[in-house]
């Protein structure tokens, strides 16, 4: 019953919307007794494995720089052997769940940017800012490559709170994105 493919209201033709609403209501009511089990153990019966396989995808970039006037240096990017900082960790399935977007960034995206920034700052004392963003790419399987379409989304910048070798008075204002050390 849980996995019964009742379409979403958005995807339903207007004539069938009342029927779909009734079906959804019925399903909710019939499944009400099992809800504690379902919520407590996080169970469902709707399975999606790559429901969408669009040509428009993303590619994550993690970059760093020494100060606001410096240019950004790439630290991690998929398929970039020269910039593979913490690649295994970032690409671990549970971590990817936080940064790989659907139509919008996930709630764990901002905590992810803070985690990756902390990791960068720990290894690279020269860097004081980390930027995480997702490049819009178009995949071209027939050509065996993906190309950038020149746009980035979901940009977050995390700044080191106390840059090393600098007195606190020389710091710039701390951005909203970086309220924590």
Partner 1 sequence: MTRSSRGRRRAKPTGTGSAPPPRATGEGSARSEPPAREGSARSEPSTREGSERSERATRDGSARSEPPARDGAASLPSAHAGSAGAAREARGLRRLVGGLRGAFAAWVTFWDRREPATSLALVRILVAVVLLGDLVQAYAYGLVEAIWGPPPEGLGWGGQGNNAPLAARWLGASADTAWIVWGTGVISALTLAAGAASRVSAFVLAFTWAQLGLLAPDSDRGIDFLLRGVLLILALSPCGARWSIDAWLRRRIGRPFPDLVPAWPRYLLFLQLIWCYFSAGHNKTDKAWGPLENFAALGNILTDPHFARFDPAWVAPGYPLLQLATASTMLFELGSPLMILLTYWSATAERPGQLRRWANRLRLRWLWIATGVGFHVGIAVTMRLGIFPWGLLALYPVLFHPDELSRAGAWLRSRLRRGA
Footprint of partner 1 on 73-92 (CB under 8 A): 78-79, 88-89, 91-92
Least distance (Å) between residue 138 CB and partner 1 = 10
Residue 122 sits in the site that holds partner 1 (CB under 8 A): no
DSSP H helices, 11-157, are 17-31, 35-40, 87-91, 93-99, 109-123
Of 10, 69, 94, 151, which one interacts with partner 1 (CB under 8 A)?
94
Interaction pattern, residues 39-78, with partner 1; x per rule: CB under 8 A: -xxxxxxxxxxxxxxxx-xxxx-----------------x
Give the nearer residue to partner 1 in terms of CB position, either 20 or 95: 95
Is the separation of the CB atoms in 104 and 30 below 8 Å? no
Is the separation of the CB atoms in 137 and 79 below 8 Å? no
Footprint of partner 1 on 148-177 (CB under 8 A): none
Distances (CA, A) of 38 to 35, 77, 83: 5, 38, 42
Residue 96 sits in the site that holds partner 1 (CB under 8 A): yes
CA dihedral (40, 97, 150, 67) positive or negative: positive
């Amino acid at each position: 019953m849980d996995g019964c493919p009742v379409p979403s209201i958005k995807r339903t033709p207007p004539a069938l919307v009342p029927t779909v609403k009734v079906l959804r209501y019925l399903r909710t009511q019939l499944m009400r007794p099992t809800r504690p089990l379902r919520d407590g153990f996080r169970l469902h019966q709707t399975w999606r494995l790559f429901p969408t396989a669009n040509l428009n995808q993303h590619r994550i970039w993690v970059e760093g720089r020494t100060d606001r006037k410096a240019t950004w240096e790439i630290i991690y990017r998929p398929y970039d052997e020269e910039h593979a900082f913490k690649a295994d960790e970032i690409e671990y399935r549970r971590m990817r769940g936080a940064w790989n977007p659907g139509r919008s960034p996930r709630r764990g995206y901002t905590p992810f940017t803070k985690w990756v920034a902390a990791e960068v700052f720990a290894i690279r004392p020269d860097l004081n800012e980390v930027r995480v963003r997702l490049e819009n790419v178009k995949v071209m399987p027939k050509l065996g490559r993906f190309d950038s379409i020149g746009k980035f989304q979901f940009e977050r910048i995390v700044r080191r709170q106390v840059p090393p070798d600098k007195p606190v008075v020389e710091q710039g204002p701390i951005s909203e994105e970086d309220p924590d050390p």
